[in-house]
Structure 1
Amino acid sequence: MIRRGLLTAGVVAAGCAAANAQEQLVPYEVVDHAIPKSLTGKPGDPVNGRALVVKRDNTCLLCHSGPFPEQRFQGNLSPDLRGTGTRWTEGELRLRMVDATRLNAATIMPPFYRTEGLTRVARNLRGKPILSASEIEDVVAYLMTLKE
């Protein structure tokens, strides 16, 4: 099954991950519960991806836990991130990051790269994704390194 989604232009706002310039968001295809192609056309940087995951502004560790000894308080509402790279493909992780509601409408995971159809969004954050395309790719690259 192929679904197409087109995301609108936006920037990452203050209080979210740091993308300094406005970015034209890219179209993507959902194929069999995954976004198989990179949003940027190139692999992400796993070192930057780890930094994004542990950064409190990005909220990952409010719900997830994982191999992050420097973070004292980690979440327990969502799956532990250990072994993520074994459980899912890059494309499956990319879809979960872009918009997990495509897999589970009742998920508590926010759509990190969707701007349409959201409710209760602060006025200054409307129309802006939480993460940029390159940040999504960086997080996916890092999560793929978590094999155990």
Structure 2
Amino acid sequence: MRLTAITMAVALSAGMAVADTVAPTQVTYGEYGAIETSLSGQVGDAERGRELMIARGKGNCIACHAVEALSDAPFHGEVGPPLDAVGSYRSPAELRGIVANAKMTFPETVMPAFYKTTGFIRPGDGYTGKAAEGELDPILTAQEIEDVVAFLMTLQGS
């Protein structure tokens, strides 16, 4: 009986690992902008999230936010709030929603939506000076959102 329960648990967790990715246009936000379930169906990698936080061509979170845990990376911004200890007062669902599309939580924010592909006003076509044609790719993939959330949850303060 015990082996059957273990086998079922492994089978269920394996099924969750291959769950479908939620498309940017299919994301379900809660009343205050939280996204309760993983966008990729997989657990985030905090080390990869750390890399995305400082990557100039991807998340580049430190361009606007100061993060003491990333003090080895230069040029922290002061536009957004410091993110030190954010994992101690925000849930993964809240952080997932804020990273995916902060306007769902904070309507007046200037933070970009990292997991959005439609609804833009005159987006450009990557440094060409021309308007984009068709749907845009999100800045971060579903898994990259999960990776950033995993890293943010490590920021527990002192």
Inter-partner Cα distance in structure 2 for 1:139 and 1:122: 25
Deviation at 1:24, TM superposition (A): 7.5
Separation of aligned partners in 2, 1:86 and 1:78: 18
Q: Which amino acid aligns with 1:55?
A: A
Q: How many residues align?
A: 126
Partner of 2:16: none
Q: Given the two structures, how large is their TM-score scaled by the length of structure 1?
A: 0.78
Give me the TM-score of the superposition, normalised by structure 2: 0.73
Letter in 1 for 2:146: E
Give 1:105's match in structure 2, choosing from 99, 104, 107.
107
Amino acid at match of 1:147: Q
The share of aligned pairs that are identical, in percent, is 37
Tell me the CA shift for residue 72 of structure 1. 2.4
Alpha-carbon RMSD across the aligned residues, in angstroms, is 1.8
Structure 2's unaligned 5+ residue stretches are 1-20, 127-131
Give the match for residue 92 of structure 1. 94
Deviation at 1:103, TM superposition (A): 1.5
- Match of 1:121, as an amino acid? P
The corresponding residue for 2:84 is 82
Cα distance in 2 for partners of 1:123, 1:56 equals 18
- Between structure 1 and structure 2, the one with the greater Rg is 2
In the alignment, residue 53 of structure 2 is paired with which amino acid? V
CA distance in structure 2 between the partners assigned to 1:129 and 1:84 by the alignment: 24
Structure 2 residue 40 is the aligned partner of structure 1 residue 25: no
Residue 133 (structure 1) shift: 0.2
Q: Report the Cα offset of residue 132 of structure 1.
A: 0.2
Q: Is 1:144 the counterpart of 2:145 in the alignment?
A: no
Q: What's the secondary structure of 2:70's corresponding residue? A: coil
Amino acid at match of 1:80: P
> Does the CA-based 8 Å contact 2:22-2:39 persist in structure 1?
no
Gaps (5+ residues) in structure 1?
Answer: 1-22
